[in-house]
Amino acid sequence: MGFWDRFLKIDRRWVFLIVWIAVVIPLLKPLGLPTHITPPVKKLYDYIDKMEGEDKAVFLSFDFDPSTMPELLPMGVAVIRHCFAKKIPIIVYGGLYPQGVGMAKMAIDMAKTDFPDIKYGRDYVFLGYVPGLYLVILSIGESIQGTFGNDYFGNRLDTLPLTMSIDNYEKIGIVVDLSGGDIPTWWVAFAYQRYGCRIGCGTTAVSAAQYYPYLQTGQFVGMLGGLKGAAEYEELLVRNGIPTGRRTATIGMDAQSVVHLLIILLIILGNIGYFYVRRRERRA
């Protein structure tokens, strides 16, 4: 058996080990590569930034579970920090699935550490889970108080200053939906098309490529795609002097670079091996 035959039949556990090394080494020894900002991220950042001083809120929906936490949680933390820094009222919603509530709570706890003057009920409100999927999106368009009744902690929404004045999409400047699936398209269909509320999207890299049509039509104001999108938003916060805490997305980009190179190398080597073996078999 030749080299390429043995290579193509290598025990996959060796490949797992190589991948693990490729991830760990850049984390231990960062390369410090700069982050390049892309237009979809900049558009979303600028849109939220312009809301400073307006009496409208950002509605941030955590429509993801821990399976996509490494990509989407840093986005949520970054957007919350952005709103806290600019004193933009923000309604943090635990999402259309119950697992998102824990993610939202985690993000709030991480974001508020650098903002001691932020007050619950005035600057931000945390909404819990209500079943119904896109019925909830429609219901918010009628009344947030009518949809939820209480916040996550059990406080009546008609007693909190923020939700007393902001009760539906008319007073929401943008809905930023963080999701690993096709939930952003529901927000477009039900919140944007029906109620005219602007939508921004934070999505995993798996879904990012398919959302470009919505960017082109303007149905999405902007989009954060994957860990890179989160890193770009963190970079924008830093450039504008907003505290970011530990930039988990940016830290991960070095490892991302190295592993991508590894995957490309594996694809090239795999194809060389395949064509070599095929040519040898044809000659035989």
Partner 1 sequence: MRRTLPLVIAFIMGFVMMIQYFIPHPMSQKFYKIMVQQWLIIISIFFYVFAWRSFGIYHINKIKRRKEGWWASVVAFVGVFLMLLSGFGDRIPGAFGHFIYKYFNFDDLYNYMFAPLQATMFSLLAFFIASAAFRAFKARTMEATLLLVTATIVMLGRVPLGASLWKGLPKVVEWILMYPNMAAQRGIMIGVGLGSIATSLKIILGIERSYLGGD
Partner 2 sequence: MHISTNPWVWIAAILTLAIYSFLYKDNPFYKFAEHLFMGLGIGYGAVLLWYNSIIPRLWNPLAHGTSPTRFFLLIPIALGLLSLGIFSRRYSWLIKYPLAFYMGAVTGLSVPVAFEANIFEQAQGTILKHSMFSNPWLGISNIIMFIGVITTITYFYFSKQHRGLLGKSARVGIVYIMLAFGASFGYTVMARISLLIGRMQFLLHDWLGIIK
Q: Which of 99, 150, 155, 168 binds partner 1 (CB under 8 A)?
A: 99
Give every strand in the sheet of 199-203, ordered side by side.
124-127, 90-93, 57-63, 172-179, 199-203, 220-225
Instruction: Quote the CA–CA distance of 266 and 260 in Å, as a whole number.
Output: 10
Contact partner at residue 34 from partner 1, partner 2, none, CB < 5 to 8 Å by partner kind: partner 1
Which CB sits closer to partner 2, 246 or 279?
A: 246
Interacting span for partner 1 (CB under 8 A) from 46-54, 80-88, 127-135, 150-158: 127-135
Cβ atoms of 152 and 94 within 8 Å: the answer is yes
Eight-state DSSP code of residue 113: G
Rounded distance, CA 276 to CA 111, Å?
A: 54
Which residue stretches of the chain are H helix? 3-8, 12-28, 39-49, 69-85, 99-111, 134-142, 144-148, 161-165, 183-186, 193-195, 205-208, 212-217, 226-239, 248-283
Stretch that binds partner 1, among 54-62, 118-126, 130-138, 165-173 (CB under 8 A): 130-138
222 vs 252, which CB is nearer to partner 2? 252
Binding mask 24-43 for partner 1 (x = CB under 8 A): -------x-xxxx-xx----
> Which chain residues interact with partner 2 by CB under 8 A?
13, 16, 19-20, 23-24, 27-28, 67-71, 94, 98-99, 101-102, 128-131, 134-135, 138, 148-150, 152, 154, 185, 188-190, 192-194, 204-206, 208-210, 213, 216-217, 219, 225-228, 246, 248, 251-252, 255-256, 259-260, 263
Q: How far is the CB of 54 from partner 1 (least distance, A)?
A: 27
Asked if 166 contacts 143 with a C-beta cutoff of 8 angstroms, the reply is: no
Residue 46: DSSP 8-state: H
Q: State which of residues 147, 203, 244, 248 lies at the interface with partner 1 (CB under 8 A).
A: 147
> Is residue 260 near partner 1 by the rule CB under 8 A?
yes
Residue 168 lies near partner 1 (rule: CB under 8 A): no
H, E, C per residue of 156-213: EHHHCHHHHHCCCHHHEEEEEEEECCCHHHHHHHHHHHHHCCCEEEEECHHHHHHHHH
Q: What are phi and psi of 201, to 5 degrees?
A: -135, 135
- Which CB atom, from 40 or from 200, has the smaller least distance to partner 1? 40
How many residues in the shown chain lie near partner 1 by CB under 8 A? 67
- State which residue, 37 or 205, has the beta carbon closest to partner 2: 205
- Which chain residues interact with partner 1 by CB under 8 A? 8, 12, 15-16, 18-20, 23, 31, 33-36, 38-39, 65-70, 99, 102-103, 105-106, 130-133, 135-136, 138-139, 142-143, 146-147, 194, 205, 209-213, 215-216, 226, 228, 253-254, 256-264, 266-267, 269-271, 273-274
